[in-house]
Structures are given as structure tokens and as C-alpha cells.
Amino acid sequence: MKNQEILFENARIFLLDRVIDQGWILVNENGTIEEIGEGSPENLNCDVIVDVKGNCIIPGFIDVHMHGGNGYSFMDGSYESLAEISSFHAKHGTTSFLATTSTASKENIIKALNCASESYKKGMPGADLVGVHLEGPFINEKRSGAQEKSDIRLPSIEEIDQFLQASNNLIKLVTLAPEVENGFEAVKYFNDQGVTVSIGHSDANFQEVLESIKCGATHTTHHFNGMSPLHHREPGVAGAGMALKELTTEIIADGIHVHPEMVKLLFDVKGVWNTCAITDAVFCAGLPDGEYERVFVTKGQVYLSDGSTLAGSTLTMIQSLKNVISFTGYSLFDVLPSYTLVPARQAKIDHLKGSIEKGKDADFLIVDDEISILSTYVKGIEVYRQS
């Protein structure tokens, strides 16, 4: 679909530093924001005018840790699967995402990375595929969670280069355990290649976290989950992430992976500018309770078939946002950075996305006062409308 010049008027617009109670946004034919104004626009002749009817325009959500949804997984290695994932999550407010791998054989990871590279060129029907999050295989077996233990291996520069090449340098974020053999070298190498390094599925102690920060780590993966826990004599990754300003912490705010009071504590300690909301959604997000391959879903909770371990989530970004507002008492305006500009920054796309600003992509949501999504726009194109 070709973009047209579009005027959105009669809107409450959530900017980075304030809310315009009644304003307008002009989106150009390239799908970027041309102008933002207060009151009513004057002398603007546009192809399309959208009356927002006093509803809110907020930045679209950016999910940097998401495996799948609606029955499809990134590890399927097909464009069709990624397109279905893109459309499903766009309905729930995601306008950009990092397709996230899981620990698997080199061949299967490379297949998924090749698919991401080709799909990136083709484009997505819903949320924008902006890169890849390589979760595993360079993790600690002790903190593997639902990751496939038999495919965990030590990092090597040779394999890292193969992954970077297969993705056509689309890897924006990597989760690894820095304390394993060659781990610190891997942190430094990924960082030198411009990849954000996240400590996750890791049993690192506090000193090892400090060393990994020196090597370039700036992020933690699904904080509190799959990591050495907080202890008053050994803070572990959990304590380090909370204490150290150098680290931005991911959070799965479904109230299942992390207790609501711990979600509130993390936001209170880290602040919204150092907390990155994610879904960690897997293929069964959006599907009914039941038994599926390797997992079963009950009351929206995903477990391995033996019932021993949480295996990702069925969370969506809009539900996460509502949960965090409920858990913390923060306002919509307060929490938005954790869903928009913080993940954009960590994926190194904040010059293009993550806030409603002149020159950035017109990726935004129209929501009502109950924060129900009425429409999702990606680069100025409506990819979802509430029926």
C-alpha cells in the first residue's frame, strides 16, 4: 500500500515531555512525522484527514524480546510465520519488534537468521521487523530455564561471525552468560560489532557482572528470571541489575514470571528510563489453554510439558502496560518510555522510532481513555483497526 499524506486531528498527543490536550500530527508520504501542532491545523491540504475524536495518540510499543504468537514461532524459519507474528502483535500495540531466537542447533539458528534477513527486505504486514534478538546458545546450563540444554555451547568468534553474516548484521541484541568460558571475550566482540549485550540465563556473581560491563554489557534479560538471584551477601545478576546504573533491565510484567510487588520494586529502583518492558511471548500467545508441542498452557501460563518450568509467556505489550499501571500506580504518561524509547534505545533505533517527534517514523496507536487500542499505525499505514 502506498503512503499518502495524512492529517490526524482532534487528538490528545503523548510527547516525550508533555501531553498536548488537543493537537494534530501531519504524516508525510514517506510515513514519517512532518509536523506536530496544538489546537486546530490551518491551511493544510491533505490526501487523508483522520478525526481522532479526542482520543489519545501514543507511541507504538517496541518489543525487543518476542519469540512468536498466534501459533507461529520465529524459529519456524519462514516468512509466513514472521508475517503472522507481525500481524498478531500489531493488534496488541506492538509496532516494532526484534524476532527472538532460542537455543538450538547452529543449522536451525542460521535458518531463522537467514529468514529474518529476507523477511526484513520484504517487509511485514503489521509490526515492523527491525532486527533480531539472539537469545542463546551461549548461556549457562544452570540457568537455562526452558532453553534446550543439549544445544547450549561455549561462545566462539567463528560461530558469532556465522550468525552475524547469516542475519546480514540484523542482530541488534544478544543474550549470553558472560561467566562461561570465552564469555567476556564474546561480550567484547559483540559490543565491538555494535550489538547490545544482555546478561541472561546466567549464574554470574556480582564481580563477573562488573567485568562484563567493562567489556560492554548494558542490559539484562527478563530480569529476575533465568539468573543468579539476589542475596544480601552475593547480589548476583538480579541484585547487580537493580544496583548498577549501567544496566537496563528487561521485565516480563505478566504477574506470573515476577510477582507484582517485585515489578513495582524494579520500576521504583531503576525508574522507567532504565526498565525495558518485554513480552517474551512464545508461539502459543493468543491461543486457548491446552497442550501443545513441548508445552501446555493453563490460565495463560506456559509450562514445559512436565510442568517443571515456565516456558515463555502469552503476554502482549498492551496487557503488560495495563499490568504495570495497576502494579505500580504510575500513570500512562509515566510508564510509556519503558515500552517505547527505552527499547528503541537498546535496539539502537531510537533515531527512527520510540517517540512522537518530527522526522521519526509515524508508528503510533490511537487508544481511548480505557487504553483500549482503536488503531495501530506503522509508518503512517493503518495495520490494525478495532472491529
Residue 311 assigned ligand-binding role: yes
**Residue found under cell 483500549:** 372
Residue 233 assigned ligand-binding role: yes
Choose among 32, 12, 373: nearest CA to 24. Answer: 12
Residue 201 assigned ligand-binding role: yes
Catalytic residue among 63, 76, 280, 363: 280
Instruction: Please state, in angstroms and as integers, the Cα–Cα distance from residue 183 to each residue in 142, 217, 250, following that order.
Output: 15, 11, 21
- The Cα–Cα gap between 187 and 22 comes to 47
Q: Is 128 among the residues known to form the active site?
A: no
Residue 246 assigned ligand-binding role: no
For 298-347, give the DSSP string.
ETTEEEETTSSSEEEE---HHHHHHHHHHHH---HHHHGGGGTHHHHHHT
As a whole number of Å, the end-to-end CA separation of the chain is 20
Residue 277 assigned ligand-binding role: no
Give me the sign of the Cα torsion angle 31, 34, 38, 40.
Answer: negative
Grid coordinates of 111? 535458518
Give the 3-state secondary structure of residue 237: helix
Residue 310 assigned ligand-binding role: yes
- The Cα–Cα gap between 337 and 359 comes to 18
Strand 248-252, strand 217-220: pairing:
parallel
Q: What pairs with residue 364 in β-bridges? A: 59, 377
Q: What pairs with residue 26 in β-bridges? A: 7, 35
Residue 146 assigned ligand-binding role: yes
Give me the sign of the Cα torsion angle 192, 129, 319, 73.
Answer: negative
Residue 294 assigned ligand-binding role: no
- Supply the residues annotated as catalytic: 280
Binding site for substrate, by residue number, is: 146, 225-226, 233, 257, 310-312
Binding site, by residue number, is: 135, 146, 201, 222, 225-226, 233, 257, 310-312
Binding site for Zn(2+), by residue number, is: 135, 201, 222
